[in-house]
Amino acid sequence: MGKTLAEKIIGKHAGKEVSAGEIVVVPVDVCLMQDGTAPLAIRQLQKINLEKAANPKRTVLFLDHAAPSPRKELSNDHITIRKFAEKTGCKISDVGMGICHQVIFEQYLNPGEILIGADSHTCTGGAMAAFSTGMGSTDVAIGIALGKTWFRVPETFKIEVTGQFQPGVYSKDLILYLIGLIGADGATYKSLEFTGDTIDNMSISSRMTLSNMAIESGAKAGLIQSDKKTKEFLQKWGRVSKYKELKGDEDAVFEKVIKIDASRLAPTVSFPHTVDNTKPINESLEIKIDQVFLGTCTNGRLEDIEIACQIIKGRKKNPKTRFIVVPASKSVFLDAMSKGYIKQLVEFGAAVLAPGCGPCVGVHEGILGDGENCISTQNRNFKGRMGNPDAFIYLASPATAVAAAVAGEIVDPREFIAKKKPKGRKVKTARRKRK
Amino acid sequence: MILKGKVFKFGDDISTDLIAPGRYFHLRSNLPEMAKHVLEDADTTFASKVQKGDFVVGGENFGLGSSREHAPTIIKLAGVSAVLAKSFARIFYRNAINVGLPALICDTDKISGGDELEVDLEKGEIKDLTNGVVLKFAPLPKAMIHILNDGGLIDHIQKHGDFKLD
Ligand code: SF4
């Protein structure tokens, strides 16, 4: 009997064959915490005199959620984190270096490894064919100190995606569509395994968008095989020797197989205040937008900024709409700069901020006003998420979001990309059904 | 152990953003202060009304969203003795057990806001003293019972020096 990708990676670490449902204690290869979760984790370790790291060189503490710090309380949390790193030898990724999930992917994570992170979107690492999952501060604290953690081996949903996206439709639309289809708790405790030729043809960045949002369906991980593209990525980052080809077996036991035809997807938008409240673009038009946010661990990479620049080229920003751009990492920022994208964005009227989480979690840099609408490339639109429970967040792809910066309202980005609106095409829609 | 208290009822999809809003991010190292805002965006009066021993009762997918352990921690700090829901998001569930806050899965449709409950953790039974309904809750996975019985993960590790889950 074959094994899923999750069973393979966890089994390798457990030193035995494992199957879904088993509880195992496994060594962890990489650990991360961020400035919102690390102080609590550190206090927990201090409580039991266990302020140490089993593997400090691959334990990384990120100052990214409140970076640069907007308040003295948070600056003091940063001091706590820096002191812990000094004491234990753990790595610090300081203000300006970028979002934890992006940086860990660029610089640390390899196929076949286990990454635990005190941040729910740690599942982004699944695009590296690594078992990556988010946990709370205490779980990760103990993982860091002892070098191991416990898991229940998850059942797997195989998400088989075939066909080519229409121009103007992206992996973000696919994942929003999927979440709309299965619901925000449709995959709770499960591992998603994305396969099919659409995934094979997708860039690493686009795959990261899929894995990143696995948690929005409740999943524990969102895994994708490693292949030529993974190898090229590792080559670029100087660790091609860490490449390993890994994929789930065809004859593994999947709890469910969900098949999606990518060619039939339309740009998709999540309406306030839940991620699974999705609608296709034709049902999302003419919503006035006060703020556009391009960035985050979901869509703050070079290809996202590139798409934004395609959309704004030769066009003017709507004077009533603000536009905030936050590159996901220092490396993304530098690449966008050398390609001239940053200049183009600033000339267009965007406020470009230091790499990090930006306004995503409502701590600083772009908190919404009462009654305002924001369209964002992030992964969550819960009430209060961007700092104000009386504001409204729409989630979309970079193309859909940035098109709204031109139009001042939600529009079909395909009009901007293909010039002409594709007509007569039947598009799928997804609405959530509660069981 | 028998828990007793009054019900505060919430709906489906109570996210960690509703429980521990990001705008109080700066209070993450001052949890007693943060607890004064617990669940504020779901019910502005909850924090001022909740009393020691009371229950938070939700619907489906309670605690979805971020990994912030501050969410179950401030629910516990506010005096809540257990959270009951039809289902929990994975990270919240594990966090709740880690911080020693029982998270119980049952059919919460039968419980109304304001009801008095009596919960027997060993027997796996919930008695609604207001309407007389008796509910069973699904037992926790064995690994989690060990952790909860030790008072949470930190106490578990302090006691055994390692994971001791079977
Ligand atoms: S960008 Fe947003 S979702 Fe991603 S880690 Fe930062 S706060 Fe979380």
Task: Decide if pLDDT at A9 tops 60.
Answer: yes
Closest protein CA for atom 4 of ligand 1: A297
Position A1 in a domain: no
**A262, A286, A305 - which closes a domain:** A262
Looking at the structure, tell me whether residues A243 and A282 fall in a common domain.
no
Report the C-alpha gap between A187 and A322 in whole angstroms: 35
State how many domains chain A has.
2
pLDDT at B141: 86
**A206, A234, A262 - which closes a domain:** A262
Token pair for B66: 């971020």
Share of chain A above pLDDT 90, in %: 95
Token pair for A102: 């992006």
Looking at the structure, tell me whether residues A359 and A313 fall in a common domain.
yes
Report the C-alpha gap between A59 and A89 in whole angstroms: 9
Looking at the structure, tell me whether residues A253 and A275 fall in a common domain.
no
Position A252 in a domain: yes
Residues with Cβ within 8 Å of residue B64, at least 6 apart in sequence: A184, A185, A218, B13, B14, B15, B16, B89, B92
Looking at the structure, tell me whether residues A209 and A82 fall in a common domain.
yes
Position A342 in a domain: yes
Q: Which structural domain, as residue segments, surrounds residue A389? A: 270-416
For A229, half-sphere exposure in the C-beta direction (CA atoms, 13 angstrom radius) is 16
The sign of the torsion formed by the CA atoms of A72, A73, A77, A83 equals positive
Which positions in chain A touch B91 (Cβ < 8 Å)? 120, 134-136, 215
Residues with Cβ within 8 Å of residue A46, at least 6 apart in sequence: none
- From the list B127, B75, B65, the residue with the least C-alpha distance to B99 is B75
Task: Decide if pLDDT at A120 tops 80.
Answer: yes
Looking at the structure, tell me whether residues A210 and A352 fall in a common domain.
no
A420 band by pLDDT with thresholds 50, 70 and 90: very low
Position A110 in a domain: yes
How long is chain A? Answer: 435
Looking at the structure, tell me whether residues A256 and A330 fall in a common domain.
no
* pLDDT tens by residue, A132-191: 999 999 999 999 999 999 999 999 999 999 999 999 999 999 999 999 999 999 999 999
**A204, A238, A262 - which closes a domain:** A262
Position A421 in a domain: no
Looking at the structure, tell me whether residues A274 and A255 fall in a common domain.
no
Is A138–B153 a contact, with Cβ atoms under 8 angstroms apart? Answer: yes
Which positions in chain B touch A147 (Cβ < 8 Å)? none
Share of chain A above pLDDT 70, in %: 96
Position A371 in a domain: yes
Question: What are the Cα distances from residue A149, in Å, to A22, A23, A56, A135, B158?
Answer: 14, 11, 16, 10, 15
Q: In this predicted complex, what is the ipTM?
A: 0.95
Report the C-alpha gap between B84 and B102 in whole angstroms: 8
A68 band by pLDDT with thresholds 50, 70 and 90: very high
Q: Are B3 and B104 in contact (CB under 8 A)?
A: no
**For A239-251, what is the mean pLDDT?**
97
Task: State the nearest Cα–Cα gap between B112 and chain A, in angstroms.
Answer: 21
Looking at the structure, tell me whether residues A64 and A15 fall in a common domain.
yes
Q: Is A272 exposed, middle or buried (0-12, 13-18, 19+ CB in 10 A)?
A: middle
* Letter string b/e over residues A110-148, b meaning 16 or more CB atoms within 10 A of that residue's CB: bbbbbbbbbbbbbbbbbbbbbbbbbbbbbbbbbbbbbbb
Q: Are A29 and A281 in contact (CB under 8 A)?
A: no
CATH number of the domain within which A330 lies: 3.30.499.10
Task: State the nearest Cα–Cα gap between A102 and chain B, in angstroms.
Answer: 17
- From the list A396, A399, A392, A364, the residue with the least C-alpha distance to A379 is A396
Is B90–A189 a contact, with Cβ atoms under 8 angstroms apart? Answer: yes
Looking at the structure, tell me whether residues A181 and A155 fall in a common domain.
yes
Q: Are A227 and A239 in contact (CB under 8 A)?
A: no
- Does A21 contact chain B (CB < 8 Å)? no
Looking at the structure, tell me whether residues A363 and A226 fall in a common domain.
no
Residues with Cβ within 8 Å of residue A254, at least 6 apart in sequence: A4, A155, A156, A157, A158, A193
Position A422 in a domain: no
pLDDT at A421: 46
A1 band by pLDDT with thresholds 50, 70 and 90: confident
| A:321-360 residues touching chain B, CB 8 A cutoff | none
Looking at the structure, tell me whether residues A197 and A215 fall in a common domain.
yes
Q: Are A293 and A359 in contact (CB under 8 A)?
A: yes
Task: Decide if pLDDT at A37 tops 70.
Answer: yes
| Torsion-angle region of B159 (φ positive above 0: left; ψ -120 to 50: alpha; else: beta) | alpha
Looking at the DSSP bridge assignments, the partners of residue A191 are A156, A221
Domains (ranges, CATH) in chain B?
A: 2-140 (3.20.19.10)
Closest to B41 (Cβ–Cβ): which among A40, A142, A389? A389
Is B67–A134 a contact, with Cβ atoms under 8 angstroms apart? Answer: yes
Task: State the nearest Cα–Cα gap between B45 and chain A, in angstroms.
Answer: 15
pLDDT at B142: 87
Position A176 in a domain: yes
Please give the torsion angle defined by the CA atoms of residues A310, A313, A315 and A319, in that order, rounded to the nearest 10 degrees: 80
Looking at the structure, tell me whether residues A237 and A278 fall in a common domain.
no
pLDDT at A431: 54
pLDDT at A428: 57
- Select the residue from B19, B25, B60, B86 to test the A interface by mutation, using most A Cβ atoms within 10 A: B25
